[in-house]
Structure 1
């Protein structure tokens, strides 16, 4: 019985690179998918096609689209990947509809295979994965693979109602602005590029609106990704409260009592809006003073109009402004953390990691042992969970709010990389709440360096820096900044592998910059000049801290500026002085340290560059 043909058509295939330095070639091939194999051939005018390759379907482990922001160097701009045996085949379709047909059909035919648990959503290029920066081509993926991805697809929006083709028919044309990028997941979706304008053509569906781009293409996008450019229709946003007075806003926010609880309300002046936010930040006398601060949203008064709360941070729309300040205080007393809405259960607005059942750990499954360490906010205990050793980080009563502790959990659940300490689960239903991490046998890097002083080889020291840079390059690519990178916040495994840990100060940022709220503490001896002077954090301030961490590694655990006070350190930095080269530091490594300590952030390297430089040193 002959196999049944399912799909066939002309696509573009990226050639397999035999060596790291080989050029990438893109060749047109005729693909045939049948019930047994995926084959591709070269078609030659007037001659018989020559088969160039064939993959038995039973050997395929993963089929998925490729999401990447790099320019596609061939005429077909819609890539997908087929992972089989130990090879990745990249195929490029002419349009998204064609790509979805092939991916859907391949997934259906391979769903009973022994499939990969995780996959890489971006390309393997230049010797590393663009998504997670791992340098082993067969390294475990960084995103969960869903072989039934199309079976659980979101329902398509309803057919647009002709009577509701515009949100405001009187305007005749409603212009919206993309608050963030959106990559289509379906043939009916449209690509969004942040800050670009689109015309709204249908808003009848509660979640999916139709928009048209400047080329005339129309498609559906999640309505939370767009905002009317000049409109004031904020009712769909949970933070908006219409017709709430200042006194009522203060009453509601004081009742909520959470740091960063906020709302946006109408001001007395027509068409003007106010952000009201609750804070417990210390007042001018240094004492905690629970209160509500009010910030009027202003505009630039000249076209193109821009909205702002602090003048240096301008936005095309008010929703974009609110989204930014939810991640970044940037001049406000605190970040906008918890939206509060009159008449709704506001508990759903704050992050509750227990909602994700996959992370919740039953306390009865945890067996706690000796204390491994303690800090300002809690202690870490050795434990056992499901027959594996774990480290359990417990919140010390009264040390910090449960909301802030859960925020650390939220950060960690979004991050997954071999060079970051892995989170196994959380306990949020019983007090004290805790996080359950993988166990790292040698403990924190700073203690381990001091305990093994004189016994670690130069290769091991370089490997520790390389491990840390790999984890930080992943954070950088994921738009996270750590803000507290130091040897004390990295952990060491039994094989001397180093992983970045302690994400209590980590922040997701939209523009690679985080301006902390008033009264924030930071470790001066690991901090860059812009952090010390202006509390401005970015991936480049993390790079400065990484330079200090490298110094810690090569000085085998010495405290930087050990004999100087914080004030003396600040004075030295202002004078242009830097840490001296540790005795056993190779010149090339010391040059990287000095590069990390450039005065201007823009003069410092990225972590991706540092990773490349350190990897090249390890190859010597």
Structure 2
């Protein structure tokens, strides 16, 4: 079997042949990463490229970015390093996104190797390491190396064969349902709501499209929908040959709040959304039933498809995608797509009791250590291990919503996220069992330690949060309620992100933030306040406020203003002032997070890089 190509592209390699660096040491090479090797070649006009080097992935011991305070004497300014056997290879990428992509991919492919425990953050130059001044080139590193935390644990998808013949299908148009960042040179980036020309849809998983600049490339087919709005048989929620009665019988049998399907109506070319709900009736009692909504279409202009008049979409998949996250006029959000064969799609299969369910006889509850909008948090013991047990207040969220949240949280695993060990549904109230974070929530910890927090510790706290959020971002997961109150501190002052995504499932009249507002206005981006539009970029805004909390040692943002006054200030373009303890470089990052347009804000990966640069490069 031939190795699978993961990434390829042109970068600059630093030669290791000379003792002193000079411009002649930097040479342009064409790099190819596959599942076995990293190869680099010299491109020669009119001739076949000449292979100049090949590194077996199994021999790599470390892959990491290089943070240098020295001028870089080549045109590409974003260095990273590969330590293999007893050699260091320095590679310079043209931009930070390219560097991040290569580092993530290489870490993913080498994470099970015999790796170093520490690495050098700066260059080996002039006979010494610039980071720690050691004069032995093979001296142990000075910074802990983490092969997993900086890279997504999600495996890179199989790339399609770039040599396959492109079939011309005419001007069929597709619309992007969400953003997509390329994983390889053959991919094309997607921008949500943008239109593209469909070139080839013969493969079920990867389609070839063309953007408005004439660039073509592969994209995951599930990220786009044909503009005609009628080609969606590939989606799990579409059931073609099913009657209204059969749909009701199937959905009632499943009995899951928000279980839904799209089916053909009696009228040809018209489609209906059928959704199950237990929402209370006029008498206040639960009233299990199936509601049917006809998908309507305006003929005179676009966007045309809608269920509720206010929310219009160019395609039916766009419409379904939106209502999976927002009820917006429906009786309930479209939570669980049901296939005609019965049952949920594979992504939302029921929790496996053997894997997730905690035996209540093994769980011992202790003293209260906190509380929040979801209920009390108790210290406990499970299987001889100290844990935190979050009790879910009855009527706070439904049983199915609770299990859905547990499914999501169990799939997310990262060293900067508070780890969920399991759930206990066999006792009342139900509860979630988490790792115990000895120092409690970050907001309280900051206030307790006021006056005793070093610049280094505050920066590391922010860096910890960006690392966890970068993982959520790479997993296409939105937190929605990021703030110091929803981060926890371990015994060794490590900060981890908690309560990610839980606010999606809280009943509207139950959710109040710790400041007793309808939702946490003082941490919310303008688009959330105005339109309830959440994204990773709205999380970035909230992170800017979290940074402000850290450098204000736990003060409440806008502490002397009401929510209404805060909204007026934001609309006028005003922002939180620089905390006294915040360096100028840190406050610049806060201001970057608070850009009015979401697209102008950084990604969490970019924030991690910038904060890490401040931590490892600037003098303390």
TM range (shorter): 0.5 to 0.7
State the partner residue of 2:525.
528
Residues 1:484 and 2:481 aligned together: yes
**Count of aligned positions:** 524
Residues 1:346 and 2:360 aligned together: no
Residues 1:559 and 2:566 aligned together: no
Task: Give the 5 Å matches for 1:60-459.
Answer: 84=84, 138-141=145-148, 142=151, 237-242=235-240, 253=251, 256-279=254-277, 294-299=292-297, 301=299, 307-309=305-307, 317-319=315-317, 321-329=319-327, 332=330, 334-340=332-338, 344-346=341-343, 351-352=348-349, 354-355=351-352, 359=356, 366-385=363-382, 387-423=384-420, 425-427=421-423, 430-431=426-427, 433-459=430-456
Deviations 1:343-374 (A, max 9, x none): x5435678245249655555565554433223
CA displacement at 1:223 relative to structure 2: 8.4
CA displacement at 1:460 relative to structure 2: 1.9
Return closer, same or farther for 1:355/1:613 CA change in 2, 3 Å cut-off. Answer: same
CA displacement at 1:271 relative to structure 2: 0.3
CA displacement at 1:533 relative to structure 2: 2.5
- Counterpart CA distance in 2 for 1:335 and 1:416 is 26
Return closer, same or farther for 1:83/1:569 CA change in 2, 3 Å cut-off. Answer: same
Pairing partner for 2:469 from 469, 472, 476:
472
Decide which moves more: 525-534 or 51-60. 51-60
Return closer, same or farther for 1:568/1:198 CA change in 2, 3 Å cut-off. Answer: closer
Say which SS state the counterpart of residue 537 (structure 1) adopts. Answer: coil
Return closer, same or farther for 1:270/1:572 CA change in 2, 3 Å cut-off. Answer: same
Decide which moves more: 220-229 or 448-457. 220-229
Task: Give the 5 Å matches for 1:500-519.
Answer: 500-505=497-502
Residues 1:544 and 2:541 aligned together: yes
Return closer, same or farther for 1:258/1:436 CA change in 2, 3 Å cut-off. Answer: same
- Counterpart CA distance in 1 for 2:58 and 2:425 is 44
Deviations 1:41-94 (A, max 9, x none): 9999xxxxx99768689846799xxxxxxxxxxxxxxxxx9985597899xxxx
Equivalent residues of 2:237, 2:337 under 8 A apart: yes
List runs of 5+ in structure 1 lacking aligned partners: 1-5, 45-49, 64-80, 91-102, 118-134, 154-165, 167-171, 215-219, 509-515
Say which SS state the counterpart of residue 434 (structure 2) adopts. Answer: strand
CA displacement at 1:405 relative to structure 2: 1.9
- Counterpart CA distance in 1 for 2:293 and 2:348 is 24
Decide which moves more: 253-262 or 528-537. 253-262
Return closer, same or farther for 1:269/1:53 CA change in 2, 3 Å cut-off. Answer: closer
- Counterpart CA distance in 2 for 1:184 and 1:606 is 15
Using structure 1 for the length normalisation, give the TM-score: 0.62
CA displacement at 1:38 relative to structure 2: 10
Deviations 1:391-417 (A, max 9, x none): 333434443122222232233234343
State the partner residue of 2:491.
494
CA displacement at 1:379 relative to structure 2: 3.3
Decide which moves more: 14-23 or 317-326. 14-23
Return closer, same or farther for 1:274/1:468 CA change in 2, 3 Å cut-off. Answer: same
- Counterpart CA distance in 2 for 1:524 and 1:392 is 28
